[in-house]
Amino acid sequence: MNGPAMLTLLASAAPAAAGGEPPAYLQFLPLIAMGAVFYFLILRPQMRRQKEHKAKLEGIQKGDQVVTAGGLLARVVKVDENTVDLELAPNVRVKAIKSTIGDIVPPGGVKPAND
C-alpha cells in the first residue's frame, strides 16, 4: 500500500475503535472505590482508637492501675510528662514511657468473660 491509501485506512478505523471504548475516568473508579473502602474500614477506625488511647494516657493519675504493653499489671506511683513510675509489687518500682501503657484497669479489676 502506498502512503495516502494507508492514511485513509487508518483514519477510517480510528473513529470506530474510539467510539466503542468507555471514558477514561471509568477505569479509575474501581481504584477510587477500593481507596474509599480501605479508608472507612481500616484507617478511620484506627485513627479513632489512637485518639482514644492518647486521651487515656493524658488522663493517667497517681494511684491508677494500668497494664503495660508487655502485659505487666502495675500501680502508678508518679506521672511525668513522658514517663510514669510504676509499682509492680511492694518495693519493686520501674520507670516506663507513657506510650507503653496499654490500658487503665478499673479499680475492681477486669470481670471474667463468663460472668
Rounded distance between C-alpha atoms, residue 14 and residue 28, angstroms: 23
Judge whether residue 83 has pLDDT over 90.
yes
Distances (CA, A) of 2 to 5, 14, 36: 6, 19, 53
Instruction: Read off the pLDDT band of 20 (50, 70, 90).
Output: confident
Cell of residue 68, nine digits: 503495660
Rounded distance between C-alpha atoms, residue 75 and residue 89, angstroms: 9
Instruction: Read off the pLDDT band of 106 (50, 70, 90).
Output: confident
Q: Which amino acid is at 28?
A: F
Whether pTM exceeds 0.75: no
How much is the pLDDT for 3?
A: 55
DSSP one-letter code for 14:
H
Percent of the chain with pLDDT over 70: 77
